[in-house]
A and B are shown apart, each in its own frame.
Chain A
């Protein structure tokens, strides 16, 4: 694979996807110290919100330590070069949240939808574009659609005004060819000026390899998180990916050692449990289950005396999608009842 001379944008997820791994309890102090370190390392984009995006605070997904407003307004003024993005899932957050994030100074809005449901994003993408924001359409659970069908959904988002489209491997299920074929079809089928992004999860230990395949197929933006702090087995470990890119001659503009330091000295001590590829995360990747279900399933398993991997397998069989966290307790109760 020759990627020499390619230029890509790295986007750090610790302070959004990492919220899942931290039960949405990241403190303002942790936010400041990590965001500042990422900024100094040259990471151009940092995402900050509740793990389930703006307005995600809920019984279903978890109440955060601080509101989105508090997080954004604390971090944004401290950034020297990094820009801040916010995630928004229509059905959970609304355009009111989008306006709030815009007023607080985010540069980028990423509007996320289950990959088959792009038409729920029209209101949000068009407003974001109207406000002059860098506007991303984020197609989640993209393993569930074949490349051509995914392109059709991507084109909808592009037509609403998205200037960048993501192929999002929310379940960490994709293999390298799955990533390559989807990114390639998006690259060839969308407008040349539309950027393409890839968001990976490390549930099959393919975060770095899949991200390289994405770059090879023409991706412009790659998501990852320092030390992998994210849902499931975490996101693509960004400091590792950055080091690999540097070895391969891919330009990221991010300092290898500074990012390593942020991962090792700030993120790892923040972790409530090691972010590693344990059996439950492997089940996510193997069965194609939304990564954010992980900790919810572990908690429900403990409460109802059932096995967490069985909960996750059942959620896979039910073809649940992102947002259906309520089904985790429902499934756990059913499994307990079946035990008699």
Chain B
């Protein structure tokens, strides 16, 4: 079966890249071949080596010459918004599909239960996975705006301090901007706002996400509740620890939903649901693109 899998490269050996690698190793659709880092001693590169991946600590340039030989079709970029532009350009030239886990957002936003199918069908060369907070909340905003117009969508993501890497911390504005704009573009809210809070409590708290939407008209409680419960089930297919804690609360035109995201505990412990919701969403995206690539290959082979 190994032969049917699509070969992929993981760029960035931090928390996200490493967690994604562990998940990708379990995939039936993709095969992680390369892990790209910039620090030879990084924990992520060590783990990749131990798992039998090829590794380089020379950044994207260390990978490029192997792309053809190793038949790399998809690359996941979990570096930073600053280097993603260059990485993307180089990968695109070699015909590699890029899944962007940084807030760079060069390609269209992808929130799997909302628009993944559409993006795969459009054969996008680069898709962006928004942010952890966006992955956890935009499905809910979309579930509400599917029923009726949402004037305003706001999300509050609280993550354990220990689960926030240096990249997130240095570029916290990127989180709020990217998430807010995806609440509008993918969630369907007329205006979006995103808030992120880091909490240092010990033991670390599970990721919490709260969604507040203001509907244009009085909310249809029954229809909205059904729609929200349905989309939660969709997310649970790839993040089993995604749970509704309270709500939907209806208060005038306000609809509030209180969520918790527990991870699988692959790389960081379970509290880091923010890691899982990103990596699991990216993996799902990669697998769907892989399915499509395999199909294309197959049909070419038939002719």
A residues lining the B interface (CB < 8 Å): 58-60, 90-92, 94-96, 114, 116-117, 119-120, 122-124, 144, 303, 318-327, 329-330, 333-334
Contacts and interface: CB of A to CB of B under 8 A. Distances in A.
Contact of A333 (B197, B201, B246): B246
Contact of A324 (B175, B197, B212): B197
Q: Is the interface of A mostly helix, strand, loop or mixed?
A: mixed
Contact of A320 (B154, B171, B193, B199): B199
Contacts of A96: 173
A125 B171 CA distance: 13
Nearest to A127: B173
B239 interface: no
Given A59-B212, A59-B254, A327-B208, A321 B170 contact: no
A325 B210 CA distance: 10
B176 interface: yes
Interface residues of B, number: 35
Contacts of B154: 58-60
A59 B211 CA distance: 10
Residue of A94, A122, A124, A330 contacting most chain B CB atoms (<10 Å): A330
Interface in B138-185: 152, 154, 156, 158, 161, 166, 169-173, 175-177
Contacts of A90: 172-173
A144 B200 contact: yes
A153 to B, nearest CB: 11
Contacts of A59: 152, 154, 212, 214, 254, 256
A59 B196 CA distance: 14
Contact of B246 (A320, A325, A334): A334
A77 B95 CA distance: 57
* SS class, residues of chain B in contact with chain A: strand
Interface of B: 152, 154, 156, 158, 161, 166, 169-173, 175-177, 193, 195-201, 205, 208, 210, 212, 214, 245-247, 249, 251, 254, 256, 258
Contacts of B175: 91
Given A58-B154, A60-B154, A120 B246 contact: no
Contact of B173 (A95, A114, A324, A329): A95
A92 B175 CA distance: 10
B176 A91 contact: yes
10 contacts: A59-B152, A59-B254, A114-B199, A116-B200, A117-B198, A120-B172, A123-B170, A319-B199, A321-B201, A326-B210
